[in-house]
Structures are given as structure tokens and as C-alpha cells.
Amino acid sequence: MPWATDATSGLVLRPPRMSDEDQLRAGHAELVQEGFPYLFHPELPWGEQLDLVDREARGVDLPPGRVRGDYLVAQLGPDLVGRVSVRHALTPLLLEIGGHVGYAVRPAFRGRGLATAMLRSSVHRLAGLGVTEVLVTCDDDNPASAAVIERCGGVLEDVRRFADEAPAKRRYWIRST
Ligand SMILES: CC(C)(COP(=O)(O)OP(=O)(O)OC[C@H]1O[C@@H](n2cnc3c(N)ncnc32)[C@H](O)[C@@H]1OP(=O)(O)O)[C@@H](O)C(=O)NCCC(=O)NCCS
């Protein structure tokens, strides 16, 4: 079942399936080179990863410090072009650094508005859950991600520097009402 469809780009966001393993592992291998956690538990067998995603989506048996959230693949035709994580609430750490939404697009599919479509759909999803002020953060040296957030209506609150985190984080709020 698709979770969201973007009419303009044709992009579908949906939970991962058994048959997605090869493409998601390929995406992970690409993004890990950029230091981005595309899969959260690449070391686990695929079925266990899907179980974790399912439990987190249902908010069942969450480990300490994890909140309910959706891990969704972005599909364009036959290709899994990226992924998005939509967290339904903020912990103190997410409020400082991580935000409600995290996303990545595989290098071959960048520059055609897909991340913008993914973030827009995610904000819409959160609005449906009652989250109307959505925090999205990016590294201060990530102009592509800052452009995506700003295209989606993000208003910069501040740029925070953390002792053990470099570079600084740009923290934006997107209002969805
Ligand atoms: C950031 C990322 C998701 C963007 O994906 P994408 O599908 O290319 O994004 P879009 O095509 O929707 O938009 C990219 C925007 O960045 C702009 N952009 C791209 N490179 C840029 C650069 N070097 N400087 C300034 N703007 C840049 C584009 O012009 C576009 O803005 P526009 O729509 O206003 O023209 C992708 O580069 C990525 O996955 N990076 C690695 C993971 C990551 O950084 N994730 C975000 C974590 S906060």
C-alpha cells in the first residue's frame, strides 16, 4: 500500500518489502560513502530489518530513546531512488539535532526535485498526525538540503554548534497549517 503519492513527480512513498533488499543495500553502499545512514541496521538480515521498521511504525517495543516513526522507500517506476524517515515526535536529541524528518536521494537521481517531493509529503503526513510545526535540520555545509527545506517553506530558527558534532546544524521549522 503506498503511503503517499506525489502527482507531479510520480514518486511513491511506501514501507520497504522483502523484494527491496538489493536496491536498498545498493543505496546504502552509495550513501555510506557520504556519511549518511541510509539503512539503520545494515548488519542485520533483511527480514529482521523489516521487522524493526514495522515495530517502529506501530510504536511497539521501542528501545529507550526511540520514538514512533515511519521508514519509507521512495519509488519512481521500477527504481528505489531514496528513503525518508518521519518521526512522529521529538526527543530532546531530535529537538536539538535530528528533527522530525530525514531523507536521502541516491546520487543518480538527484537534482530533479525528488527530495523536495519527499519532504513535502512527509510534512503532509505529520500534519495528519497533528504535528503542525515540523522541525527539519541539515548540516550548515549542505546547501542542497537547505534548498530542499527552504523550498518546502522552512523558516530558519538558528544554526547550532555542538561540541562533538561538526559541522553546525541549521534548524528549520515548517508550518503545515
Ligand atoms: C540533499 C539531497 C536529499 C537533495 O536531493 P535532491 O533530490 O537532489 O533534491 P531536489 O532536487 O529536491 O532539490 C535540490 C535543491 O538543491 C539545490 N542544490 C543542489 N546542489 C546545490 C549546491 N551545491 N548549492 C546550492 N544549492 C544546491 C538545487 O538547485 C535544488 O534547489 P532548487 O529546487 O531550489 O533549485 C541529496 O543531495 C542527498 O541525498 N544528499 C545526501 C544525504 C543528505 O544530505 N540528506 C539530507 C540530510 S539533512
* Successive 10-residue mean pLDDT values, the chain, 177 residues: 78 97 98 95 97 96 93 97 98 95 98 97 95 97 98 97 85 93
What is the model's pLDDT at position 150? 98
Closest approach atom of ligand 1 to CA 105: 39
CA–centroid distance, 153 to ligand 1, in Å, is: 15
pTM of the model: 0.95
What is the model's pLDDT at position 132? 95
What is the model's pLDDT at position 1? 60
What is the model's pLDDT at position 26? 98
What is the model's pLDDT at position 90? 97
CA 175-40-89 angle, 5° bins: 30
CA 141-146-148 angle, 5° bins: 140
What single letter denotes the amino acid at residue 107? P
What is the model's pLDDT at position 83? 98
CA–centroid distance, 103 to ligand 1, in Å, is: 10
Pocket test for ligand 1, best of 6, 33, 110 (most atoms within 8 A of CB): 110
What angle separates helix 143-151 from helix 114-128, to the nearest 10 degrees? 50
Pick the CATH number of 4-175 from 3.20.20.70, 3.40.50.10860, 3.30.365.10, 3.40.630.30: 3.40.630.30
